Amino acid sequence: EIVLTQSPGTLSLSPGERATLSCRASQSVTNNYLAWYRQTPGQAPRLLIYGASTRATGIPARFSGSGSGTDFTLTISRLEPEDFAVYYCQQYGHSPTFGQGTKLEI
Amino acid sequence: QVQLVQSGAEVKKPGSSVKVSCKASGGTFSSYPISWVRQAPGQGFEWMGGIIPIFGRAHYAQKFQGRVTITADESTSTAYMELSSLTSEDTALYYCARGDAGTELDYWGQGTLVTVSS
């Protein structure tokens, strides 16, 4: 099983600032099958990025994903109020697994 | 626009089973994969397994092998997840989502809370 470790656990920033979230895999992720999701309280997760760097439909350009192999990054260029939430990475290779999440707070 | 609508909350006794449904609309149900993912209170996510309805054969995470059964009914565009031998550790929000191993989870149901309590 591929273990995904996200850092930091909590990130405190202000609207308009830049956020950088990390996801490290215990082994190389097949075909860079790495996705990022945002979850707000009481809601289902929303897909932001797939294939490590492709924005999902309707996701604004301030979200970008990068990385390959075992190290991946989600960057939010200018934080909007709705971006303060919990972010999860997921590898969707043979047996999908999720990271433990990064809470982005004001 | 794909929509996944799940059945309502359940309260179950330890040792019993629960069956959660996920009705799809929009898209072509038979040909896209459906996964089941759970989230325990205040915790992260666990992928439980997935199915492609047109093929009818499900595959499961090792942790849940032998205890979970995922099925799909093409005639009603509905997927099901049945979990048996429930314990308090199974108390969680259960989500269905479009996607599986090899594809991202791009649409999610609203979640079904399953509470296991004596």
pLDDT, tens digit (0-9, with 9 covering 90-100), for A39-53: 999 999 999 999 999
> From the CB of residue B12, how many other CB atoms can be counted at a distance below 10 Å?
17
A70-82 average pLDDT score = 96
Angle at A24 between CA A90 and CA A60, to 5 degrees: 55
Contact A44 B111 (CB under 8 A): yes
- Tell me if chain A has a CB within 8 Å of the CB of B101: yes
Tokens 């309502």 map to which residue? B8
Provide the 3-class DSSP secondary structure of residue B69. strand
**From CA A48, how far away is CA A50, in angstroms rounded?**
7
Mean of all residue pLDDT scores within chain A: 96
Say if residue A19's pLDDT is above 90: yes
Contact A88 B44 (CB under 8 A): yes
**From CA A70, how far away is CA A87, in angstroms rounded?**
18
A72-101 average pLDDT score = 95
Smallest CA–CA separation between A106 and chain B, in Å?
Answer: 20
Chain A residues with beta carbon closer than 8 angstroms to that of B110 = 44
Which one of A48, A92, A97 would you mutate to disrupt binding with B, by most B Cβ within 10 Å of its Cβ? A92
Say if residue A70's pLDDT is above 90: yes
Among A6, A58, A77, smallest CA distance to A36 is for A6
pLDDT of residue A17: 96
Smallest CA–CA separation between A56 and chain B, in Å?
Answer: 8
Q: Which residues touch B52 (CB under 8 Å, ≥6 apart)?
A: B31, B32, B33, B34, B100
Q: How far is CA A80 from CA A22, A76, B12, B61, B117, in A?
A: 19, 9, 41, 36, 40
- Per-residue confidence in pLDDT tens, chain B, 118 aa: 899 999 999 999 999 999 999 999 988 888 899 999 999 988 889 999 999 988 888 999 999 999 999 999 999 999 999 999 999 999 999 999 998 888 899 999 999 999 999 9
**From CA B34, how far away is CA B42, in angstroms rounded?**
24
A84-97 average pLDDT score = 94
